[in-house]
């Protein structure tokens, strides 16, 4: 009898242990089922499991390239040099101060000297200096004002042509001054030369009145 009691006690003890283990297993299975349901719920909502996101990040999958912004179609701005233009006064002043005044003084000076010699009835007048000076002025940059440049060009042409006629008809040009044709050519030459002098003086006045420019010296002043 005592053994039976012992056996039944052992059996009860074992049954209790079995029942305890079965309960624990049921609890564990229930927890696992809940976790699975949570994952399924997250996937059905469009989410991504954390493990999948971490896996994608670790593989270094490149993201889709972003579109390059399209530049505006506004027209290019004009350069400063193209948008800025000098006024006629500023342009002529620039020519005058960058060497133009020297050309004017040289031509007027030699023209005044030749004219003075002619008025004193000099027997021999050397036109070499005049020709060289006028030729250099003709090759120099033009005055950046149409009317002023025309006056300057015309005066130079009168000087060159008039002096050339006088020179060719004179003894220096191996002409014969006693010949009527030579005498006529010399007279015509001096008249044209005088036109050139008048043109230079008119040009000097125009530069003063139109552009406020005065020569540093007066070429027509009597040295005496």
> Model-level pTM?
0.61
Predicted confidence (pLDDT) per residue in 32-79, tens digit: 444 444 444 444 444 444 444 444 444 444 454 555 555 444 443 433
> What pLDDT is attached to residue 43?
44
Residues 148 and 37: their CA atoms lie apart, in Å, by 100
> What pLDDT is attached to residue 61?
46
Give DSSP secondary structure letters for 71-124. PP-PPPPPPHHHH----HHHHHHHHIIIIIHHHHHHHHHHHHHHHHHHHTT-S-
Q: Nearest-CA neighbor of 214 among 100, 61, 84?
A: 100
Residues 71 and 94: their CA atoms lie apart, in Å, by 42
> What pLDDT is attached to residue 24?
45
Q: Nearest-CA neighbor of 184 among 166, 161, 157?
A: 166
Assess if CATH 1.20.120 describes domain 87-211. yes
> What pLDDT is attached to residue 213?
97
> What pLDDT is attached to residue 68?
55
> What pLDDT is attached to residue 15?
39
> What pLDDT is attached to residue 204?
97
What is the mean pLDDT, run by run of 10 residues, along the chain of 224 residues? Answer: 39 41 45 46 46 45 50 41 71 97 97 93 85 97 97 98 92 67 91 98 97 94 68
HEC letters along 135-147:
HHHHHCCCCCCHH
Indicate the SS3 state at residue 176: coil
Residues 163 and 127: their CA atoms lie apart, in Å, by 7
Cα dihedral 138, 143, 145, 148 sign: negative
Residues 211 and 220: their CA atoms lie apart, in Å, by 20
Cα dihedral 190, 195, 198, 199 sign: negative
Contact 122, 166 (CB under 8 A): no
């Amino acid at each position: 009898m005592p053994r039976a009691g012992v056996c039944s006690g052992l059996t009860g003890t074992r049954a209790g242990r079995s029942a305890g283990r079965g309960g624990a297993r049921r609890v564990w299975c229930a927890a696992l089922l809940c976790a699975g349901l949570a994952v399924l719920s997250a996937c059905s909502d469009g989410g991504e499991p954390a493990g999948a996101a971490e896996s994608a990040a670790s593989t270094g999958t490149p993201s889709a390239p972003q579109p390059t912004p399209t530049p505006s179609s506004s027209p290019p701005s004009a350069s400063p040099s193209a948008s800025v233009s000098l006024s006629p006064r500023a342009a002529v002043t620039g020519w005058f101060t960058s060497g133009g005044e020297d050309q004017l003084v040289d031509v007027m000076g030699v023209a005044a000297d030749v004219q003075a010699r002619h008025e004193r009835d000099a027997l021999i007048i050397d036109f070499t200096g005049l020709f060289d000076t006028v030729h250099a002025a003709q090759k120099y940059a033009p005055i950046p004002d149409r009317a002023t440049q025309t006056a300057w060009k015309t005066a130079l042409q009168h000087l060159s042509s008039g002096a050339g006629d006088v020179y060719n008809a004179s003894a220096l040009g191996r002409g014969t001054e006693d010949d009527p044709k030579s005498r006529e050519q010399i007279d015509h030459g001096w008249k044209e030369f005088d036109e050139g002098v008048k043109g230079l003086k008119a040009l000097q006045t125009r530069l003063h009145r139109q552009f406020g420019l005065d020569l540093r010296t007066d070429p027509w002043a009597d040295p005496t």
